[in-house]
Structures are given as C-alpha cells and as structure tokens.
Structure 1
Amino acid sequence: MNIPLSEQLECDLIVVGAGAGGLSTAITARKKGLNVIVLEKDQVFGGTTAFSGGVLWIPDNHHAKQNGIHDSREAALKYLKHETKQFFNDDAVNAFLDYAPEMLKFFEKETTVKFIPTLYPDYHPDAPGGVDIGRSVLAAPYDIRGLGDNMKRLRPPLKTITFIGMMFNSSNADLKHFFNATKSFTSFIYVAKRLAIHLKELARYGRGTNVTSGNALAARLAKSAFDLNIPIYTDAAVQALISEKGTVTGVKVKHQQHLSQIKSKHGVVLACGGFSHDIERLKQAYPHIKRGGEHVSPVPKTNTGDGCRLAESVGGIVDIQYEDTSAWMPVSKVPYADGFGVFPHLLDRYKPGIIGVLKNGKRFTNESNSYHDVGADLFRACEQFDETAMWLICDQKTISKYGLGYAKPAPMPLSSLIKKGYLIKGNHLEDLAQQAGIDANMLVKTVGRYNIDAVKGQDSEFHRGSTSFNRYLADAEHKPNPCVAPIEQGPFYAVKVFMGDLGTFDGIRTTVTGEVLDQSNQKIIGLYAVGNDRASIMGGNYPGAGITLGPIMTFGYITGSHIADLAKGGQGLLLSKQKQSVNSQLMEEAYHVS
C-alpha cells in the first residue's frame, strides 16, 4: 500500500526510482543493515524493467556451470574489451565481472528474486571471447498475487507486446508454441491452456497474475523490498536535492500533492531510468533527431532525465560521449483510438521472408542482427534522407506464418490494421512501393536480387543466418537457412519502422562504486547514481541479451554494499586488485551479518 509519506521524514538512505537499479540498491543496503525508503514519481513501480525481457547478462554464472556450460572470466573480459573498444573502462568492467556472479547468488539466496538459464547466444558470438550459450539468465515467472494489495501498483507489461494482456516469456520455446498453434496439436493444447488461465485471471483480477520476463523481475524485486519493510512510495516526485556544506543530505519531494523534506544520514541514490523522454537532451545526443528525424521510445514516459538534472543541480556531470547514446530498438507506431502504442520489433526481423528497405528501396543491413545493431545501421544509413525510417517487407505466405510487427499470424485478421494504415498492402511490389513512398523500381530490383540467393537459402549481400544469434530467433524448421526465404507470393505487405530505444547508455559520471563526480572528477559526497542514470559500462554497444539489467543489478549491489559499509565505519567496497582478498573477506562478513 502507498502509505502517507509524512509518517517517515528521516532514514539512512533514500533511493529515487523503483526499477531494477533502485530496488537492487535498496534491497542490498537494507540487507546490510540500513533503513531505506524508495521514492517513485510514477503511479506504479517497476520502471523500464517491467517492460523489459527480464534477462540479465552474467558471465560465468552458476546456472551455466550447473548445466555443464563452460565460460570464464577471462573470455568475458576479452569479449568486453572487443565490444567496448575505445570506451573500455578497466576498473568498472573488472568490478562487474568480479561481482556479477556474486550478486546473482545473493539475490537468489536472500530474496524472492529467482532466475532460470536461457539458450541466448551473445549478440556477437563469433567475436573474441564471445559464446554461443550460457551468459544470459531470465527472471523466473511469478504469481503477482504474492504482492497483495501492492499488485495494483505494479507497472503492467507493455501493451503492444501482449495478447489481450497475456505476456509471452522471453524464452524462444514459449513463443514457438504460439507460432505453431494452428499447425501442431501439442502447441494448440499449450496455447489453449495459457489462454484459459489468462482469461480466468482477467475476469477475477482485471489483469494477468502469472507474469513473465521483466514484469516478473520487477514484481520479485518489489516483493523482496516489501518483505524487508522497505516502503516504495509511488506518486512521489523528487523536486530537488538538499545539500549542506557540499554534502547531499536529503530531498524535497512532492507526494500525493503534498510537499515534504526527507533527510538521509548516508545519502541519496539516483535511479530515475535515464533520459529516453528528455526531449532537449535527446536533441543534443541523437543524430537522427538533430537532422529532423523522429524518435519513438517504448520505455515509460516518466523517464524524462530527472536523475541527470538532479545531479547537475549540485555540480554533477552528464557525459554525452558514446557514438551510440542509447540501446537502439526499431519500433513501429500502433494506432489506438487515443493516439498510438509503440511496438518493438524483437522477433519478426529474424524470420525468413522478411527484409528491411529504406525509402530508396535498398536493403542496408543484416535484418537478423540484434535490435541495437540494426538501429545503429538505420540511423547511419539514413543520413542522406529527411527522415530516419525503414520498411519491413514480406509476402502473403510469410505474414500468414509469422505475422509482421503488431500484425499477428493467421488466422488473426489483418483488415483492421490495413484500414488504420499500420499495415500497407499491395497486390504487387510496385503498388506496395507507391503506397509506402518507396522507390518502386529499386524495390523490385532489391527483392529480385535477394530472391536469387534466397531460393538457395543464401544472403550473399548481408549474410543473414551466419551466426548462432541470427539463427536463435529465426525458424529452425525452415531449411537450409532459418533466416532466409524468398519474397514472391503476392499480395505483399509493409510496416514502417522508426528509431526507438530501450534506455540510454550515456549518463551521469560516477566512480565504480556509484559516487557522482563533478567536473574535476571529485566525489559529490552523499550522492550516488545507478541504473540507466549512470553511464553504461558497455561503451554504447550491445554485446548480448541482458547487458543492461545485468550491470544495473550488479552495480546496484555494489553501490548498496558500498554505502552500507561506509555507514558502519568501513572504507567502502574495495575494488583495487591489490586489495581484492581483503575486499572478499569484508563482503563475506557483511553477507553473513545481514
């Protein structure tokens, strides 16, 4: 329940934001002895995490070891050096690799948070240190009735990627049943049972209660916080930081229309979700917006850069430095009666018989690469155009089998989406191109050239299907290449796809343990940043499934431990190689004391 804020005006630690970053920090600090409160400006808790796939990238994790999968810290370090290139941060990356497996064990042993292994390859598995399996783990499904009355305050999943509110698990196996429901009796029974359970939940609770993916992770983190008597105040927008003699000692907050001041003995942690909807900062950071293009983000609308502004108000620095400021996601705009929803193209691009073209009618990338890689290629390929967009193209056979964007496979009807303009339909390619505003002659040539290879299961131009990751989300039953099939049976369909993001990579400058730094790289005492507020260790790249949530929870754990140790009179979390043995002993002692 959202109890009145006036009942508690002083604590040990204030956390601003109730996503994975904020809640992992709060839970860790509480387990290590601090009195913590969480402030969330939205009406619901869960942040971007609740919309996400709920996957964490944790190299050399115990789930992989238990399943006989070999990985090593050394291989992961080599991979991250390759992926982050000139932005490789030795101290931060080594801290992540040291503490990520420990963080995973801590949350699974001490809280309601649980994970299951996945079959995800790294996104660049053929790069030095890359692997085909083992580094990504997925939040276990959760029955949110365990939240009690707080179930109403959990952010619902992203509407556009549910079916009548029912969530699909991020595992490929779950989705295959839904794609095969009309072709396999086993899949039909699986889907029928899922639907029956979901409809029963809707009738009784007004929403699905058996949640998966990021919604499950957000719910499990919140449940763990409530079990530890950590209050999560929603509708609690922090207006300003309180600073005394250069030390941040609290916040001014507006909660349910009432203004309050909260004092904190050991500081304030910013975990506000980054700046995906901070229009002014985006104009400075996003090349496609600078040149007049459109950007459509599916992350919560409340991610407006509050943490960045609060840090700057007391001298903190927000660095816009990476070549790719955010985790890019190609998205389409689904028309609703009151506006539009944002659909992230997580699956369709991998399927055989679907290609992406620019307005000039040309392909520009391997469509079966990761969403981030396709997004990065898209905004660079569109430098010559007045907008940053592509069109996903397929034929009748393909859309019937896999769907296209928000359009579902057969037997679901397409007429409504065609009427609303989301889905463009043409009896032949020239007709489709004319309606979409694509160069018709070049589109015909592009599809013709693609088909010559595709009938043989090849893609000599962009090499679709050449990596284990390309193939993972494709169609394993389609031979010889699960990512490639010709586009030849009209009518033809197109969906316009824009640039979006899953969260920002650039962010507040911090130490490894989370202290916010000023222009001179001096610590602002009492102020910390975690989650997407803090600059990512990935250097603007996206190496694998869960490379946002894995570091986010790991550095939440590091920062929470660091603050708790300082509060007890210690030196904080020791990260230098020379002191690692001492650090491990301190961590173990703190762990058992809690």
Structure 2
Amino acid sequence: MTTNGTWDEAFDFVIVGSGGGSMCAALAAKQLGKRALIVEKQPLIGGSTGFSGGVWWVPNNPVMKRAGVADSAERARQYLDAAVTYQGPGTTPARRDAFLRNGPKMVEFLEDQGMKFVYADGWSDYYDELPGGEPRGRSLLAELFDTRELGAWESKLSRYKGFSLPLPTDQFPSLMLAKRTWRGKKTALSMVGRMLKAKLTGRRLAGAGAAIQGRMLQIALREQLPIWTGSALAQFIVDGDRVTGVAVQRGGRLVRVQARHGVLMNVGGFSRSASMRQRFQPHPNSATWTNANPGDTGEAIELAMALGAAVDCMDEAWWVVTSLAPDGQPPKPGGYAADGTPLPFMHHLDLSLPYSMMVDQLGERFCDEAGAYMEIGQRMYQRERETGKAVPSWVIMDSRQRAYYPWGTAQPGQVPEAWLKSGYMIKAGSIDELVEKTGIDGPGLARTLERFNGFCRSGIDSDFGRGSRAFDRCHGDPTVTPNPNLGAIEKPPFYAVRMYPGDVGTAGGVVTDEHARVLREDGSAIRGLYATGNCTASVVGRSYPGAGASIGASFTFGYIAAHHALGAAAP
C-alpha cells in the first residue's frame, strides 16, 4: 500500500506485536525522547514470550557477573562460533558481534527500568563442553511477579494456559525429583508454602514467561506507553522504497498509522499456520503438535516477503518433542486446558531422567534424549528422512520411570487409566508383549535394549553421550549411578508412548542485519522496516546454545532496532 499523505495517527516508531522485544524497544524509544506505539492483534499482551518458560540467554551479562561468574564477549563469541555451525544470512559475524555487544547493555537498561532479574545459576549452556561453554550458565529469569499489580490490565496478560506454579523455571528439575532427593522435597515444600502464603494474602504469583511480560507490562504502563490490543496488521504503507507506516484493523475500521522513523516487526512465527507449515516445514508436520502462542499465524512475514524481504531457515523451529494419542491429539486427561484448548505435552525434563529411552519404529536410538531439545527434533526429522520410520518415534520406559518421576501431568506413581484405554500409553508385562502392541521392530529393539542397558551399567553412552554434558546432568537424577541420566530398562511392567516433533515456535523468517533492518535477497535494506524475534532468521541459526536464546536475541535486537531507527547508537 502506498501513502497518499493522509494519516489517522502518527508516532515516531511503530512496533507490530507485543512479544519479547516490543516493550523493550518502546522503552528505549522513550528514553531517546521519542514516542512509540505497540499494536497487537490478539486481545492479550506478551506474545510468545508470555507463553514461554521465561528465560533470557545473554552472554557476559551483569547479573551473572555479580554472582561471581567470569565471562567476556570474547569467550562468548568463542562459544557461539563453536555451537552455531550454520553459516546463513542471519548468523553473520556482524550480527553475532551486535548481539554480544548489546545484550549486556540491554540487561543494564532494563534493570534501570525496574526489571528484576535472577541468575539461573547451574542452568548450563546446552553444549558446555565446547570452547567457551559455561557450565554454570548464561541464562536469566525474572522474579516471580504478582499479577495483581497490573490492576485492570491483569486480564490482558498473555500466558500459557497449562498448569501454573509459583516456581522459578530453573527449579522445575528439582521439583521433578521430589520423590528422590532432599533437594526435590525442599523445593516442593517451599513451593507449597509459597502457594499457601499467596492464598492467605491474595497474591497471584506468576513465573515463567508471565513473570517476564507481567513485569514488562507493568513498566510499560508506568511509562504510559501506548498499546493497542485487538489491532491486526493489514498492510505496510510504503512511500517510494521506504516503509512509512502501517494500516491496522482496529475497532472495525482500517486505521492508517504513520511511523516517522520506522516500523519494527516482532510478530512471532507461523507455527499456527497450516498452509505455511506445509509450504516451508519438514514433513510430516501438523499445527496441532505446537505449543506456540495463538498469534503465530505468519501473516506479517508474508507481507514482508511481498515487499521483497529475504527469508531463511523457514524449515526450522524451536523443537520440543511431544507425545500424542493414536488419533494424533493430546491425551486426556492432561493434554487440554480448562477451556478445551489443546496443550500437547512438552517433553524435555522427563526425557532427561533415567529408566527410559527413545527409539524409532525400527527400535533404534537416534539422539541424546537428555540433550538440547531443538537438536532432538532435528535428529528425529533427519532419521525420518533416512528411514521414513521416525515420526512417530517411541519412548520406552520401565516401571521405575513411572514410579519415580512425573510424565506429562501424571505425578510419580500415576498411570491414568484413561491413558491406557485410549492407547496413548501402552503397558506390557514383557518387551515381547510391548513389541506386539506397538509394532516396533522386535530384533531391532532387543539389540538396542541390550546395548543401552550396557551403557547404563558402565555410565558411558558410547552412541550419543547421554549424561556427558553438564546440561544433561543438571536435569538428571543424582541418586542414580554411575550416570544420573541413564537407568536400565529391565523391570516390568514396561510402557511405550508415541513421540512427535512438536515445537514452541518456528525459528525462521525475514533476514535482518546487525541493526535489525530487514534485508532483500540482494542484501540491501528495506528502508524503515526492522524485525526481531521469531519472525526473523535467528542469530543462533539452527542451534540452541542455551536456555532463553530466542528471547535473549528478541530483546537485544529490539533494543538495537529502536536505537538505529531513532538515529542513536546503543549506549
């Protein structure tokens, strides 16, 4: 759409979407003396970050340094170069340097604005064994947030619809071991005490992504930042070769909003778009497998592409494998919110624990089940391309897994009868019976079990290194030796569950430079158009170097975009 010079509203900077980088960018604009508008198509504010585990990965940040962890941009760059092996237009040296240089500044800026960061000490980098890897981690959390502090805006906060516990995200691995360790029991008792106190005082404590975006929204409201909800982007408005504003569907009419200095896209990906998934993502796939935020429908990416924006990594996602019933739907009970919204189980922590392994339909392992969840999804699809026998795969577990640890929403010791009746979870008295009920190749599974159980006895997974990284071990069971992530599968009854490559958002999109400007195929910038978050080809490419890598990058490049668009270098 081209402009005819008439506008309904005018701002210095217009930010489309309200996810991780949006309020950060708007706050940076205000600090620079400019006025930014956030427009959000959903009725809720917070985007994918509000639905997330609520973690930032920011190397060399001041919070970890105050905790006594020595880091530097040089050391972090060494790690990024080792972990991010994909060489694409989103992972250029200039973008890596911009991320590493501005991430710590972004954290300092938000601290000054009132964000309350917590260092996730011990949440290791995902590939800590690589040069520059940090076993204590580079990840940050937000303090638990009392959503009552938002007043009338409390109901507008975007948050995951599943069960919500007033617990910092980094304490969930301990909670998983409540039946196994004193630390787990202490974590559980502390959480119960916090819940009782909150009930007595009326506090409504939120953790995870709601803690980040709740605090960010509180700061935004304090600073009187204009935020429009229920306002969907209809078109970018262009004058010559420059994006000068947006047309937004708001209140039943088309509103033309001028953006004097630029437009920032922070609109999420396209996990909820069946057509875009079929066009770009590996097969088989389904929008029913995702836990992405409901606004992840991809229209803004398509509008940018229509302007000539280059895209990359459109076949990639932030994979977190999920388990589904034979009909391809989440299991009942547990797999649905109170309002009926499907909530596919996300398996990372439970896959890391002993007495289980994942195999394809040939009965063969293909990954480190305790490793980086994005890599597990990639390996599942790689195996599917090689054999056509990996989607779905199977988790095989013995009776101790079900006795000791949670699975999905089932607590230790629980195997819901409805799961068995529906075929979501298959139970057998022997491996032969399990093979008969699942159709897994029997000889292949027998060979894998013999080899896997040998690894459990020696403590060394010679095939995939399960338990060899600090990241694996921080999610293991320390009472199991010699490897906290390995437990033999030998005590009946045995169980099997179908596994699929679920996700929490797509990880590809428009190509941007070190200033967050959207680029064309020839490398030239689309003037006036910036982007950050899951709608971009990520600075970490096709890998996930640490917890919160996508959110850390979203905030950082939103911060960078505001400074560049408004004519100021980041401080």
TM-score, structure 1 length as denominator?
0.86
Gaps of 5+ in 2: 1-6, 325-329
Distance between the aligned counterparts of 1:315 and 1:261, measured in 2? Answer: 22
Within the candidate set 266, 274, 277, 1:271 is matched to 266
Q: Provide the identity percentage.
A: 31
Q: In structure 2, do the counterparts of structure 1 residues 272 and 467 end up closer, same or farther at CA, with 3 Å as the change threshold?
A: same
Residue 537 of structure 1: how far off its partner (Å): 0.9
Residue 182 of structure 1: how far off its partner (Å): 8.3
Amino acid at match of 1:169: P
Q: In structure 2, do the counterparts of structure 1 residues 22 and 356 end up closer, same or farther at CA, with 3 Å as the change threshold?
A: same
SS in 2 for 1:179: coil
Cα displacement string for residues 185-230 of structure 1 (whole angstroms, at most 9, x for unaligned residues): 64553343244356669xx7xxx82111211111111112111111
Cα displacement string for residues 39-97 of structure 1 (whole angstroms, at most 9, x for unaligned residues): 11112111111121211111111122212212221111111112223334111111111
Cα pair 1:270 1:533 within 8 Å, conserved? yes
Aligned residue number for residue 3 of structure 2: none
Distance between the aligned counterparts of 2:176 and 2:197, measured in 1? Answer: 15
Distance between the aligned counterparts of 1:304 and 1:355, measured in 2? Answer: 34
Q: Does 1:368 align with 2:364?
A: no
Q: In structure 2, do the counterparts of structure 1 residues 263 and 272 end up closer, same or farther at CA, with 3 Å as the change threshold?
A: same
Q: In structure 2, do the counterparts of structure 1 residues 528 and 113 end up closer, same or farther at CA, with 3 Å as the change threshold?
A: farther
Amino acid at match of 1:330: V
Distance between the aligned counterparts of 1:187 and 1:99, measured in 2? Answer: 35
Cα displacement string for residues 5-36 of structure 1 (whole angstroms, at most 9, x for unaligned residues): xx972222211101102222122112221111
Aligned residue number for residue 580 of structure 1: none
Aligned residue number for residue 35 of structure 1: 35
Q: In structure 2, do the counterparts of structure 1 residues 319 and 466 end up closer, same or farther at CA, with 3 Å as the change threshold?
A: closer
Q: In structure 2, do the counterparts of structure 1 residues 455 and 199 end up closer, same or farther at CA, with 3 Å as the change threshold?
A: farther
Cα pair 2:125 2:547 within 8 Å, conserved? yes
Aligned residue number for residue 115 of structure 1: 118
Cα pair 1:169 1:175 within 8 Å, conserved? no
Residue 115 of structure 1: how far off its partner (Å): 3.5
Cα pair 1:20 1:549 within 8 Å, conserved? yes
SS in 1 for 2:320: strand
Distance between the aligned counterparts of 2:30 and 2:420, measured in 1? Answer: 52
Q: Does 1:335 align with 2:326?
A: no
SS in 1 for 2:436: helix
Aligned residue number for residue 311 of structure 2: 318
Amino acid at match of 2:19: G
Aligned residue number for residue 70 of structure 2: 70
Cα displacement string for residues 157-198 of structure 1 (whole angstroms, at most 9, x for unaligned residues): 241xx2xx43542113x5424531687564553343244356
Q: Does 1:215 align with 2:210?
A: yes
Aligned residue number for residue 579 of structure 1: none
Residue 347 of structure 1: how far off its partner (Å): 0.3
Distance between the aligned counterparts of 2:388 and 2:288, measured in 1? Answer: 15
Aligned residue number for residue 564 of structure 2: 562
Residue 149 of structure 1: how far off its partner (Å): 0.9
Within the candidate set 283, 286, 292, 1:288 is matched to 283
Cα pair 1:476 1:482 within 8 Å, conserved? yes
Aligned residue number for residue 393 of structure 2: 390
Q: What aligned pairs does 1:126-525 form with structure 2 within 5 A after superposition?
A: 126-159=129-162, 162=163, 165-166=164-165, 168-172=167-171, 174-177=172-175, 179-180=177-178, 186-187=186-187, 189-197=189-197, 209-289=204-284, 296-320=289-313, 325-333=316-324, 334-336=330-332, 338=340, 340-383=342-385, 384-385=387-388, 388-410=391-413, 412-525=414-527
Q: In structure 2, do the counterparts of structure 1 residues 123 and 400 end up closer, same or farther at CA, with 3 Å as the change threshold?
A: same
Cα pair 1:430 1:444 within 8 Å, conserved? no
Distance between the aligned counterparts of 1:259 and 1:400, measured in 2? Answer: 57
Amino acid at match of 1:421: G
Q: In structure 2, do the counterparts of structure 1 residues 8 and 419 end up closer, same or farther at CA, with 3 Å as the change threshold?
A: farther
Distance between the aligned counterparts of 2:473 and 2:292, measured in 1? Answer: 27
Cα pair 2:180 2:479 within 8 Å, conserved? no
Distance between the aligned counterparts of 1:199 and 1:391, measured in 2? Answer: 41
Gaps of 5+ in 1: 1-6, 567-571, 574-586, 589-594
Cα displacement string for residues 130-166 of structure 1 (whole angstroms, at most 9, x for unaligned residues): 121241111221111111111101122241xx2xx43
Residue 288 of structure 1: how far off its partner (Å): 2.7
Cα pair 1:181 1:191 within 8 Å, conserved? no
Aligned residue number for residue 569 of structure 1: none
Amino acid at match of 2:174: K
Distance between the aligned counterparts of 1:188 and 1:125, measured in 2? Answer: 28
Paired residue total: 548
Distance between the aligned counterparts of 2:393 and 2:198, measured in 1? Answer: 35
Residue 309 of structure 1: how far off its partner (Å): 1.4
Distance between the aligned counterparts of 1:415 and 1:212, measured in 2? Answer: 31
Q: In structure 2, do the counterparts of structure 1 residues 364 and 319 end up closer, same or farther at CA, with 3 Å as the change threshold?
A: closer
Residue 293 of structure 1: how far off its partner (Å): 7.8
Cα pair 2:144 2:166 within 8 Å, conserved? no
Q: In structure 2, do the counterparts of structure 1 residues 283 and 167 end up closer, same or farther at CA, with 3 Å as the change threshold?
A: farther
Distance between the aligned counterparts of 2:71 and 2:530, measured in 1? Answer: 32
Aligned residue number for residue 327 of structure 2: none
Residue 113 of structure 1: how far off its partner (Å): 4.8
Residue 255 of structure 1: how far off its partner (Å): 2.1
Q: In structure 2, do the counterparts of structure 1 residues 97 and 232 end up closer, same or farther at CA, with 3 Å as the change threshold?
A: same
Cα pair 1:404 1:495 within 8 Å, conserved? no
SS in 2 for 1:550: helix
Distance between the aligned counterparts of 1:277 and 1:294, measured in 2? Answer: 5
Residue 359 of structure 1: how far off its partner (Å): 0.9
Distance between the aligned counterparts of 2:364 and 2:389, measured in 1? Answer: 16
Distance between the aligned counterparts of 2:347 and 2:276, measured in 1? Answer: 25
Cα pair 1:108 1:115 within 8 Å, conserved? no
Which shows bigger deviation, 101-110 or 52-61? Answer: 52-61
Aligned residue number for residue 591 of structure 1: none
Aligned residue number for residue 528 of structure 1: 530
Q: Does 1:542 align with 2:535?
A: no
Aligned residue number for residue 584 of structure 1: none
Distance between the aligned counterparts of 1:186 and 1:515, measured in 2? Answer: 48
Cα displacement string for residues 310-348 of structure 1 (whole angstroms, at most 9, x for unaligned residues): 212323222347xx6222221123335757421111201
Distance between the aligned counterparts of 2:341 and 2:274, measured in 1? Answer: 19
Residue 418 of structure 1: how far off its partner (Å): 2.2
Q: In structure 2, do the counterparts of structure 1 residues 158 and 457 end up closer, same or farther at CA, with 3 Å as the change threshold?
A: farther
Cα pair 1:63 1:117 within 8 Å, conserved? no
Cα pair 1:297 1:342 within 8 Å, conserved? yes
Cα pair 1:294 1:498 within 8 Å, conserved? no
Distance between the aligned counterparts of 1:327 and 1:187, measured in 2? Answer: 28
Cα displacement string for residues 93-133 of structure 1 (whole angstroms, at most 9, x for unaligned residues): 11111111111111011233533343111111111221212
Distance between the aligned counterparts of 1:399 and 1:130, measured in 2? Answer: 34
Q: In structure 2, do the counterparts of structure 1 residues 442 and 387 end up closer, same or farther at CA, with 3 Å as the change threshold?
A: closer
Cα pair 2:120 2:170 within 8 Å, conserved? no
Cα pair 2:123 2:135 within 8 Å, conserved? yes
Amino acid at match of 2:428: G
Distance between the aligned counterparts of 1:230 and 1:299, measured in 2? Answer: 26
Aligned residue number for residue 592 of structure 1: none
Cα displacement string for residues 249-288 of structure 1 (whole angstroms, at most 9, x for unaligned residues): 2222112433322222222111110222233332343233
